[in-house]
Amino acid sequence: MATTVTAKGQVTIPKRVRDFLGIVPGSQVDFHRAADGSVILMRADRKRPASRFEKLRGHAGKGLGTDAIMALTRGET
């Protein structure tokens, strides 16, 4: 994934990288130089982004109680 540096030295982080790292507007990032000379981009808060499964986890909210479900099943509504 290549990107272009602007005259101000700014770059746009590709969407796939932002999504992978969980970077959103206002996020802070760190750049680290590795021993081999490469540069590593990391979130400054070191939080791990939510996995695709964690994003789906949750509660559907308050639903029907057992009595209401049984009434629907019996056609009593």
Residue range of the domain that includes 28: 15-74
Q: pLDDT tens for residues 22-34?
A: 888 988 999 999 9
Asked whether residue 5 is domain-assigned, the answer is no
Whole-number Å distance between alpha carbons of 58 and 52: 12
Q: pLDDT tens for residues 30-73?
A: 999 999 999 999 888 876 666 777 777 776 667 788 888 888 88
Asked whether residue 2 is domain-assigned, the answer is no
Asked whether residue 67 is domain-assigned, the answer is yes
Asked whether residue 7 is domain-assigned, the answer is no
Asked whether residue 6 is domain-assigned, the answer is no
Asked whether residue 9 is domain-assigned, the answer is no
Asked whether residue 57 is domain-assigned, the answer is yes
Question: How many domains in the chain?
Answer: 1
Asked whether residue 3 is domain-assigned, the answer is no
Cα 45 to Cα 7, 22, 26, 40, 54, distances in angstroms: 28, 11, 12, 15, 19
